[in-house]
């Protein structure tokens, strides 16, 4: 077993025992908050994972590189890298999709957005969303240059779904800016 996971499980067990023995150590509230957060987190991560797989199974013929969509939705440690590795044998696709795209846009969509949108206060949320928009706008040119540098075949056509996902995110964030101001 992974030692870090073991340590986390020990602390979770300590919180559970404290809850069972009427909060003598004062850990019960933190244990409850952790359980609630993990439930929300797992629902969102599982949802993105299911969306990525189900969408590609139903629309596999529409896209030249299905790896672009999967790596846009999943972080590398949430299965993005291993799925890309099993789907492709080209090193340039594995580097671009499995490493770069999963660790940037995949992490944003499958990990950072669910956590931060759930935990941030209303005052901090607008600053966070502005930072996300600036990050996406700065990320796109870097990914495009990297894709050409790695000599990915038909890169612009393969990259269109990623541009579409980024455009949807930016549009949703601008809509949320207007609702946060009101």
Measured N-to-C along each axis, helices 122-149 and 155-181 cross at an angle, to the nearest 10 degrees, of 170
- Kindly report the pTM of this predicted structure: 0.73
Q: Can you give the three-state secondary structure of 115-167, one letter per residue?
A: HHHHHCCHHHHHHHHHHHHHHHHHHHHHHHHHHHHCCCCCHHHHHHHHHHHHH
Q: How far from 45 is each of 16, 54, 124, CA to CA, in Å?
A: 24, 14, 23
* Structure confidence at residue 118 (pLDDT): 76
Short-list 39, 47, 181, 156, CA closest to 110: 47
pLDDT in tens, the chain (182 residues): 678 888 888 888 888 888 888 888 888 888 888 887 777 777 766 776 777 677 666 665 666 678 888 888 888 888 888 888 988 888 999 999 999 999 999 999 888 887 888 778 878 888 888 899 999 999 999 999 999 999 988 888 889 989 999 999 898 888 876 665 55
pLDDT at site 166: 92
Distance separating alpha carbons of residues 87 and 89, to the nearest angstrom: 7
Distances in Å between the Cα of 129 and the Cα atoms of 53, 109, 156 are: 27, 13, 27
With H, G, I as helix, E, B as strand and everything else as coil, classify residue 88: coil
- Decide if 93 contacts 75 (C-beta within 8 A): no
pLDDT for 61: 62
Q: What is the pLDDT of residue 9?
A: 86
Task: Write the CA distances from 164 to 16, 26, 69, 151, 158, integer angstroms.
Answer: 44, 47, 10, 21, 11
């Amino acid at each position: 077993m992974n030692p870090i996971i073991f340590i986390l499980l020990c602390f979770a067990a300590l919180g559970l025992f404290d809850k069972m023995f009427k909060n003598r150590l004062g850990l019960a509230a933190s244990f409850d908050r952790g359980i609630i957060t993990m439930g929300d987190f797992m629902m969102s991560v599982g949802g993105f994972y299911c969306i990525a797989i189900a969408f590609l199974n139903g629309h596999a013929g529409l896209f030249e590189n299905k790896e672009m969509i999967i790596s846009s939705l999943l972080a590398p440690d949430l299965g993005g890298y291993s799925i890309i590795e099993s789907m492709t044998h080209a090193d340039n696709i594995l580097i671009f999709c499995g490493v770069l795209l999963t660790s940037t846009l995949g992490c944003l969509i499958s990990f950072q957005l669910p956590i931060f949108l759930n935990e941030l206060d209303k005052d901090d949320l607008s600053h966070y969303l502005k930072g996300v928009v600036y990050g996406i706008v700065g990320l796109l040119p870097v990914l495009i240059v990297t894709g050409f540098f790695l000599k990915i075949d038909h890169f612009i056509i393969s990259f269109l779904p990623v541009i579409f996902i980024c455009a949807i995110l930016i549009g949703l964030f601008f809509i949320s800016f207007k609702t946060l101001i009101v």
